[in-house]
Amino acid sequence: MQQVRVELLQQMPIFGGVDAAALQLLLEPAPSVTVSAGAFFFRERDPADCMYVLECGRVAVLKDWGGRELLLRHLGVGDCFGEMALLDLFPRSASVRALDDCRAIALTPAHLSQLFEHSAEQFALVQMNIAREMSRRLRDADEQLFRATTGEQQPMRETVFQSF
């Protein structure tokens, strides 16, 4: 099972270039969390304590706007969410709801600290990869904001209206 988890991480941009030994070190203490369809991994404004790597299932990333939940994106197996918790001390910026029964690896700042003690080089690589992923997401958000500001037609995002 651990080898399957290592292989999953190796396919993700956040862990690109990180060696298998470092990934094993990260995964050893990291629990798997299960969340039933319709339940939340976390809600916007909750304290942020870990990042999740989705092992099975799909989730919706949601933002509260005037009492309505707006869909930001869908994520699936191999995607991560909550990565800002590894870099800052702010509350969650969005909610994440399971669309299916889900299982995810929970990685905490303590896990990264353990990696730093083992290999500062591998730790730095993970941090740079997280920053790159956050930068990609920021560029996407900037593009959406620009299009909305200029009145340009934006691609429709699917909305989540399912009852759970």
CATH topology of domain 2-150: Jelly Rolls (2.60.120)
Q: Residue ranges per domain, the chain?
A: 2-150
The DSSP bridge partners found for residue 33 are 104
- The structure's pTM equals 0.84
| Measured distance CA(10)–CA(60) in Å, rounded | 23
Residue 10: burial class (beta carbons within 10 Å; 0-12, 13-18, 19+): middle
Max CA separation in the chain (angstroms): 50
Q: What is the pLDDT of residues 17-62, one digit of tens each?
A: 999 999 999 999 999 999 999 999 999 999 999 999 999 999 999 9
pLDDT at 158: 47
